[in-house]
Amino acid sequence: MDGADDDHTGDEASLPPETFSVLGQVTRSAAAVPVDDGVGTLWIAVFTACELGAPLVAAVRIDDADVSQAGVPVPFEIVDLPPGEHHVALFLDDDGNANPMAPLPDPGDLVYETGLDDGVLSCIPVEVIDEDVEGLALVLTGVMPGA
Ligand SMILES: [Ca+2]
Ligand SMILES: [Ca+2]
């Protein structure tokens, strides 16, 4: 060991923890044909793991999001994310009946899903390292069955 470290002032302790933003856009795939009109409340949630009940890191609500036209993007920004590996889930509450305190898709809502019938939450992984993440593409790929 090399003795005292002269430039260690301790000032770092007073800095707030550094967080970053994730920016991008949401589109609807042509295969996900809306049951309603494709205009509704878009919910984007960031979890520490891709499972229902996992700790929520952040959530974004976009009112009157319009994905009635496939491929037309709706921009989003998620702020105050700490560095780490995050898991993003999203859905469009097309019929406007989701509980704002615990928003979940019900039959007829547009969702990002990799296997609609498997009963498992589907997420897009995003890793925040030391800068904002831009250009994250989120896609509503399906419709919750049962409508
Ligand atoms: Ca709904
Ligand atoms: Ca609607």
pLDDT tens track for 5-51:
566 555 666 777 899 999 999 999 999 999 999 999 999 999 999 98
Distance 132 CA to ligand 2 centre (A): 32
Domain that holds residue 114: 24-143
Question: Model's pTM, two decimal places?
Answer: 0.86
In a domain, 138, yes or no: yes
In a domain, 46, yes or no: yes
User: Which ligand lies nearest the alpha carbon of 92?
Assistant: 1
Distance 95 CA to ligand 1 centre (A): 5
Distance CA 42, CA 65 (A): 6
* pLDDT for residue 115: 74
Tens of pLDDT, residue by residue over 92-134, are 999 999 999 999 999 999 999 987 666 678 999 999 999 999 9
**8 Å CB contact between 110 and 142:** yes
In a domain, 53, yes or no: yes
* pLDDT for residue 14: 72
In a domain, 3, yes or no: no
Tens of pLDDT, residue by residue over 4-14, are 556 655 566 67
Distance 107 CA to ligand 1 centre (A): 7
Write the burial class of residue 92 (CB in 10 Å: 0-12 exposed, 13-18 middle, 19+ buried).
buried
| pLDDT averaged over every residue in the chain | 90
Domain count, the chain: 1
Distance 75 CA to ligand 2 centre (A): 18
